[in-house]
Amino acid sequence: MLLAAALSGCGGAAGNSGGPSRADGTAHPSASGTVRVAARGGTVGATGSACELPVHFDVAAHWKPRSIDAGAAASKAADGPDGDLGRSVADALMHQGPVTAACEIDAKPAGDIGFLRVWTGRPGDTDARGVLRAFVAAEDNVSEERYRTFTAGGLSGVEVDYLYTSKVLDETKKECAFAVVTPHGPVVVHLGGLDTEEHEAMLPAYELAKRTLRLN
Cα(133)–Cα(145) distance, rounded to whole angstroms?
9
Does any domain span residue 26?
yes
How many angstroms separate the CA atoms of 87 and 76, rounded? 8
- The reply to whether 211 falls in a domain is yes
| 19 touches 39 (CB < 8 A) | no
86-89: long-range contacts, CB 8 A cutoff, minimum separation 24: 89/6
135 lies in some domain = yes
Q: How many domains does the chain have?
A: 1
Q: Output helix, strand, coil percentages for the chain, rounded to the nearest 5.
A: 30, 40, 30
* DSSP type of residue 125: S
Residue 73 lies in a domain: no
* pLDDT tens digits along 97-125: 999 999 999 999 999 999 999 999 999 98
How many other C-beta atoms can be found within 10 angstroms of the C-beta atom of residue 15? 9
CATH number at residue 116: 3.40.1000.10
The parent domain of residue 52 ranges over 2-9+18-68+98-215
In this prediction, residue 83 has a pLDDT band, given cuts at 50, 70 and 90, of: low
Contact 116, 199 (CB under 8 A): no
Q: How high is the mean pLDDT of the chain?
A: 82
pLDDT in tens, 168-190: 878 999 999 999 999 999 999 99
Tell me if 197 is assigned to some domain: yes
pLDDT digits (tens, 9 = 90+) for 9-61: 322 333 333 344 343 444 434 444 567 899 999 999 999 999 999 999 999 99
Task: Quickly state the pLDDT bin for 73 (edges 50, 70, 90).
Answer: low
Please give the angle made by the CA atoms of 14, 107 and 183, to the nearest 5 degrees.
Answer: 155
